[in-house]
Structure formats: structure tokens, C-alpha cells
Amino acid sequence: MVDDGAGGLPDSRMLAMLDDDRQGWVLARSVREDGRIVDFELVYINEAGCRFVGRSRQELLGRRYRQLWPETAHDATLPLYRDVVEKREPVTRMVHHERPTLTGHFELRISPFGDGVGVRFVDLRQVTVAPQSGGGTRLFDALDAAFDGFTLLRAVTDETGEVVDFVCDYVNQLGAKLAGRTAADVIGHRLSDISPGSWDNGLFDRYRAVATTGEPWREQRTYPRIGQVWEVKMARAGAGVPAVAVSFREVTDQVTQEQHLAAVAAKAEQAAARATEAAARATALQTATTALVAASTTAEVYAAIGSVLRPSAGGQGLALLLLHERRLQLRYHDGYEPDVVERLRELPLDHPYPATSVARTGHPQYLTSLAQFQAAQPDPATAVPAGVRQAWAFLPLSVGGEVLGTLVVGYRNPRDFDYDEQATLMALAGLGAQALQRALLFEARTTLASALQRALLPATLPHVPGLRHAARYLPWTHGADVGGDWYDIIDLGDGVVGVVIGDVAGHSATAAATMGQVRNALRAYAAEQHNPASVVHHVNQLLLDMHPDTIATCCYLQLHLAEGTATAVTAGHPPPMLRIEDGAHPLRLRPGPPLGVTPDAVYLDTTLLIPPAATLLLYTDGLVEDRRHPIDQGLRELRAALHGAQTGDPGETLDHILGSDVGPRPRTDDVAVLCLTSDAVPAGPPTARRRFRGEAISASAARRFAADVLTAWDQQQILDDALLLLDEVITNAIQHTVGDVTVHLRLDEHLRVTVHDASNRAPERRTSPTDDNDNGRGLHIIEGLAIAWGSEPDTSGGKRVWFDLPRA
């Protein structure tokens, strides 16, 4: 091709040839900045090319790729074109398009053209199986219409010639659909990108063996999670670079039919054995009745079930699961394997294991084969294993219309449960349920209150280096009543500790149960690395969903021990007390409403400094107030007692406070107190770092964090400039990246603010942002206010954008 050496147009004869070509042609020149290719400008396109892209020449010529097709900056198109220009080596790429005016497979042939590229679009639909035949059957249309899924994989080898990966050169429409993708998402991509699971399930080894040895391969593969069986065939294709042609089709119905025929034959052999078993069932009922009536405790009931009921039922495995707070808990088992027992220990009632539906409905279920058992639990990741059993009876333990749980009897061989056998099994389960209910009532000597209180308060608090702590709980309630006060310490790793204290309104088993749910939910949200305001927001929504008539208060803090900082949020709860050298005072936190009041509640966190050796005290309102004792008076008493505790030991501090004249006497509410002392001494200049979700609301949260920290560092003089520049940087990060954003403040000779995000794309400064377009204006503002700024890749991935301001 003739060109002017700089990416201009060829001579008129060459242009005439390009105009006449039935395939699309595009000529584009490189757009460079500082010598680096950053884009391509379209200088020529023929009519076929216009039809391909669905636009006219007037819309295309003179415009850049990033303007015309922004996705090319991310789908590897522009880097591919840049490599062709710089390496002067042509490449070929196959793509698939589905547009209203154009659908099919296309080959892009990209060649260097001066300081630019020439691209030819070849419509592979015009490739035919037999060009001279009357029908002119087209190969790709034929493959797209094929019943079987089909794909062609080209081997990728390393320097030793060993096959290390494959590239998809073609996939028909059905094959792409079965993979849950479009053909455009698959063609041209590596197997390791589009199907990384091929290394785990052994398919990659099969592909490699076929490509290297030439031996074809065929296998039926079962996928229990979706309940399907597929036949996969592979054969080497072509010469030169090894390639593998793969076809696959579903044969579930065929395999199921084969299994059904085998089961019919087995049933005939088992009929005689079941007739003999039926004669012994009547005697078994009398034996089981005698043993269960004599049982008084649950241990005796379980012993009778194991020694009498299981043999009477004829099973080779037995499990007894009881309902407890919308879950099934394993209370007794006999003949089950350890892995089955482990899965059965506790099951939510929405689990697909048949015992849960029996417990919900009170209706028995009989599974006569392993296939039925597997179909009932389609997800292998959560399924209870079958063990050596191939048939099951799931029987409700029901007394007076109340279902206590489920009795599971397992059998080693498939079996049909006839009417007589089902009646016998239900009678045995009824006897067991009656005996079990009597035993449970007999043992109900320990009140529900004490059991709940022991279970829901943490038995021990975690050891965290650099942090000493102690807790006290003073119950006021007695008998069947139980309070909702609670506390917790959560080690979040990397020197970050979550600390929470709360109080669920009321004194009842329901209040205590709600307290446990709120505590566990808060731990879960905290472990997911939500910031404190987000943690409390999620707990509020959960409480409204689960217990809309319940109100609770809490105060949650995240302590960053290495920094000497804390971020706290309160939901209608008294503020913590902080004792430092010059005295004790309540923390000034942004107030929030109690949990469970409104779904529109807004919780704003506050970041503050925790000096070394400072003592932090969290408490519930029962310590400082009741209807007779105003809270202001109680807070003054608590502040004086904390200041007067002449010790740095958290336990001794709590003993001093509880022994002082603090709050109402006698008490009329439960009390929980938690005391913490930080021994960590921050090293180096003051720093503070927080991570925020990549959401628009995080920009205001980051500004709030920075404002709190800079105010605590006495940097109010530069506060406005710092927040303005931080807003520009973090807003840009949130808009142009996916994932979390980290803000790092460091006060040294200057104030340095660093924002890290997951994107490798450097900030772009427009030369002259217009009045009606703010894009690019942020960097101008940063250059005007900061004494220095920069953007650089981060070793852990993504980039860091930073700016410096003079410290006040």
C-alpha cells in the first residue's frame, strides 16, 4: 500500500481500489502526546466499512477512536493498534458482533500504514463450504445453526513448545449461550480468562492431550449442581499450530432412562425381602413402645431410639433433629459418617435438605433412590452428603399438632415404601416424639433467661496486642426475664479493633434473642470492613426487617491503634467517656437516632484522637439513669469516678467505678460496662488512613473524616483548601474506578493527602476547561492550590494521587 509516510491518504488509484473492495477498509493516523500514541484519528473509510460500523463518512472522518468508540480504550483495541504501529508487524483478530444491521463473525486484519494503521474487515459469513455448489452453504452459518455446541481452540505454547493455554478462535451461537456468554465475549480470548475452572475440572489436561497426541477423546460428564449430563467430544483440527475442535450436547434424558431401567430390575429382586420385613414390623412397634415409655430423660430417650427404634425401623442410619429458633439442630445420630454428621449439626429451615421441609410442614417425605436425594439438593456445595445410603424416610416428630423436629432413617439400598411400611414408620416416630416431649419438659429446670444470658454475652474477649480491656455485666432481672444489654470487641486485623456496646429495649426472652441477632449482625458487617456509619445503618435495616416493633441503642467504634485514632458512631446511646492526663470527658459524637425507629435514619461517624495510655469507657444507660435519676447527674458522677480512678488497669478502673456513688441506687436496669486502655504509641509523624466504598456517598464521608482529623491536628487554617482538593481527587476516583478508595493523611513538614484507587488510569488534565464543562477543572484547581501533587502506580495495584499543602 502506498502512503506518505505519516499516516496520510494513499494515491487516487489505491483509494479507488479500496472504494471498490466488498470488505470494509479503515485508515487511521496515530495521535501522539509527548511522543506516545494515545489515540487514532480516522482519515479514510470505504462504503463497506461504513455499513459495518453503521455510520456515515461525515460522522466518522476526522474524529478519534476514543470519541467514536469509547470502549476501545478498555477492550484492548487501542493497545493492539499501537503495537502494530510500533512493532511494524501486522496482526489478525477475529470478533463477533450482534447489531440490528449486522450479525456474524468478522476478521480484522490490521497492518502498519505510515504512522498509523490500515484495518480490513473481512465478513467470515462469506466463507463457504463448497463455493461452486448450488446451495453455497456457508460454514459459519452452518456451525451457528448446528444442534451441538461447537468451539475451536488454538493452542498457546511456551518457549519449550509445551501447551500452556488455548485461545478461542471460534464458537457457535449455541456454544456461547451454553457458556453463559456471547460469542464476542469468547472469541479471541484465552481459555484461562473465559473458563479458569477448566484447570480444576481436568478439561484443560484433556484439551492439551488431544492437541499434542492427536488422539480423540469422548466422555459423559455429570453436573449434579444443575442435574444434567453432557457428552463432550474432542479432536485435533488442522495442521501447524495445534488446535482442538470441541463439541458437546446434553444427554441427560438418555442417561436418566438407562438408570431408570436398571432401577426397575433392582426393585423386582427386592420385593421378596420387603415382604419378610413387613411381618416383623408389628412386633417392633411393641418393643419400641415398651422402651420409650420407660425413658424419663432425653439421654434415655436417645438410648432407646438407638437400641430399639432404629432396628425396628429397619434402617442402617438414624438422625434426630430438633427445631430451635427456626433451625434444625442435630441431637442424636447413629450409623452416620463424620462428614454427614458435621453437615447435619445445624440447618436453617430454608435449607433444601428434606428434613427441613418436614419440620416446617409436619408431612413425611420418602426418598426411594439416591437420584431423588440429589435432586432435592441441587447445589453440591451446600448439600448434606448421602454417605452410603440410597433411600430415606424423613418423619415428623409431632405431638398434639406441634412439630418438635424430624427423625431421619437411612437405608443402604434403594427401596419403595409401601403403605404398611409408611404407617409403621409414622407410628414409631410418634412414639419417639411423645417420649421426647416428656423428657424435655422434665429437664426444663434451668430457666430460659439464664441460658440466653450465658449464650448471648461473650464468654471471653479477644486478646489484641497494644490494647488492654475488661468488661462487667450486672444483671438486674430475675427468673424468666432477661435483659438486652450487650458488648463486644472485634479484632478486625491490621491493628484495627471494633468496639461496641448496646441495649435492646425490654426485659424478655425476645429482647435477649434480638440482642443476640443484633450483636451477630454487627460483627458480620464489621468483619466485611464497612465503616462504622455503614455498619450501624445496615444493623438498623436488619432490625426493622426482623423485629419492626423493637428499639435498640448502640455505640460502635473502630480503634486504629497504630495511628492513635478512632472513628465512632452512636445510635441513641450515651457517649463513651475518655480519660486522659488532664481529666475525663464524654466524647463529642455526631448524634444518631436509636435502631429500629425509622428506615430513613442517617448515621454520621466522627473521627477523633486517642492519645497513648488513654482510657476509654463504654456503658449502658442503666449505669447513669432511670426515671428517678437524671442522666446529666449520672454523667457527672461517672466522669468524676473515672477521673478519680488512680489506676491504668481496666479491671481495677471498672471495680472503682462500680464501687463509687454513680447512678441510681438501687438499680432498676441491667448494666454493661466496657473499659479499654491503649498501650500503642504511634511512630513517626501523625497519620490517619481510612478505606471507603466506591460509592458517591463516600465522598462526603471522606471529607468528614479529613475535617475531623485536621481539626484534631490544629490545621484549621488549611482545612478549606484540603477539603476542596480532596473532594476533587476522591470524586474523580469514585467516578472512574470500581472498588474501594483509601484516603491517607500525613502531617510532616507539609500536609500530604493521598487517595488510592484500583484504576491504573492516570488523571487527565484538559488544557482549557470551558465554563459549561467541569471535566478537567479539578487538576487546574489542585495545581493552583497545592504546593506539589502527583499520580503514580501503587505496588499493590491501582494508583495513588497525592497533593501537599503547607501545614498551619
For residue 60, give the amino acid letter. Answer: L
With cell 467430544, the residue in question is 233
Residue 387 exposed, middle or buried by CB count within 10 Å (0-12, 13-18, 19+): middle
Q: How far apart are CA 565 and CA 558, in angstroms?
A: 9
Which ranges of 138-251 does DSSP label H, i.e. alpha helix? 139-144, 173-178, 183-186, 191-194, 203-213
How does residue 567 score in pLDDT terms, banded at 50, 70 and 90? Answer: very high
Segment 774-791, tens digit of pLDDT? 555 677 888 888 999 999
Segment 10-51, tens digit of pLDDT? 777 778 878 887 788 899 999 999 989 999 999 999 988 888
Residues paired with 719 in a beta bridge: none
What nine digits make up the cell of 792?
Answer: 503514580
Residue 450 has pLDDT above 60, yes or no: no
286: part of which helix (H) or strand (E)? Answer: helix 252-293
Residue 624 has pLDDT above 50, yes or no: yes
Residue 469 has pLDDT above 90, yes or no: yes
Looking at residue 312, its pLDDT comes to 62
DSSP 138: B
Segment 572-612, tens digit of pLDDT? 999 999 999 889 999 999 999 999 999 999 999 999 999 99
Q: Which range is least confidently modeled, 53-62, 185-194, 222-231, 763-772?
A: 763-772
Q: Which range is least confidently modeled, 141-155, 231-245, 308-322, 644-658?
A: 141-155
Selected residue with higher pLDDT from 491 and 230: 491
How does residue 129 score in pLDDT terms, banded at 50, 70 and 90? Answer: very low
Residue 279 has pLDDT above 70, yes or no: no
- What b-and-e string marks burial along 82-96, b requiring 16 or more CB atoms within 10 Å of the CB? bbbbeeeeeeeebbb
Q: Which range is least confidently modeled, 323-332, 533-542, 632-641, 664-673?
A: 664-673
With cell 434451668, the residue in question is 446
- Percent of the chain at pLDDT exceeding 70: 85
Looking at residue 133, its pLDDT comes to 37
Residue 479 has pLDDT above 60, yes or no: no
Residue 336 has pLDDT above 70, yes or no: yes
Q: How far apart are CA 409 and CA 338, in angstroms?
A: 16
Query: What is the strand order of the sheet 36-45 is part of?
Result: 36-45, 24-33, 116-123, 103-112, 91-98
For residue 389, give the amino acid letter. Answer: R
Looking at residue 445, its pLDDT comes to 45
Residue 711 has pLDDT above 60, yes or no: yes
> Any long-range contacts for 692-696 (C-beta under 8 Å, 24+ apart)?
692/531, 692/730, 692/740, 692/741, 692/742, 692/743, 693/530, 693/531, 693/534, 693/740, 693/741, 694/733, 694/734, 694/737, 694/738, 694/739, 694/740, 694/741, 694/757, 695/734, 696/734
Residue 134 has pLDDT above 80, yes or no: no
Segment 530-549, tens digit of pLDDT? 899 999 999 999 999 988 88
How does residue 132 score in pLDDT terms, banded at 50, 70 and 90? Answer: very low
Looking at residue 768, its pLDDT comes to 59
Looking at residue 173, its pLDDT comes to 73
For the segment 632-656, the average pLDDT, to the nearest whole number, is 92
Residue 720 has pLDDT above 90, yes or no: yes
Q: How far apart are CA 312 and CA 288, in angstroms?
A: 7
Looking at residue 97, its pLDDT comes to 63
Residue 130 has pLDDT above 60, yes or no: no
Residue 53 has pLDDT above 60, yes or no: yes
Q: Which range is least confidently modeled, 158-162, 253-257, 482-486, 663-667?
A: 482-486
Most confident of 302-311, 446-455, 503-512, 712-721: 712-721
Does residue 508 contact residue 452 with C-beta atoms inside 8 Å?
Answer: no
Residue 98 has pLDDT above 70, yes or no: no
Q: Which range is least confidently modeled, 152-156, 448-452, 624-628?
A: 448-452
Of 502, 531, 529, whose CA–CA distance to 596 is shortest?
A: 502
Of 611, 583, 614, whose CA–CA distance to 468 is shortest?
A: 614
> Collapsing DSSP states into helix, strand and coil, what is residue 632?
helix
Supply the Cα-derived Rg of the chain in whole angstroms. Answer: 36
For the segment 758-773, the average pLDDT, to the nearest whole number, is 68
Mean pLDDT computed over every residue of the chain: 83
Looking at residue 112, its pLDDT comes to 87
Looking at residue 262, its pLDDT comes to 78
Looking at residue 537, its pLDDT comes to 94
For the segment 89-97, the average pLDDT, to the nearest whole number, is 75
For the segment 499-518, the average pLDDT, to the nearest whole number, is 82
With cell 489484641, the residue in question is 464
Looking at residue 704, its pLDDT comes to 94
Selected residue with higher pLDDT from 372 and 142: 372
Distance of CA 255 to the CA centre of its chain: 36
pTM, rounded to two decimals: 0.48
Selected residue with higher pLDDT from 238 and 659: 659
Q: Which range is least confidently modeled, 227-241, 325-339, 386-400?
A: 227-241
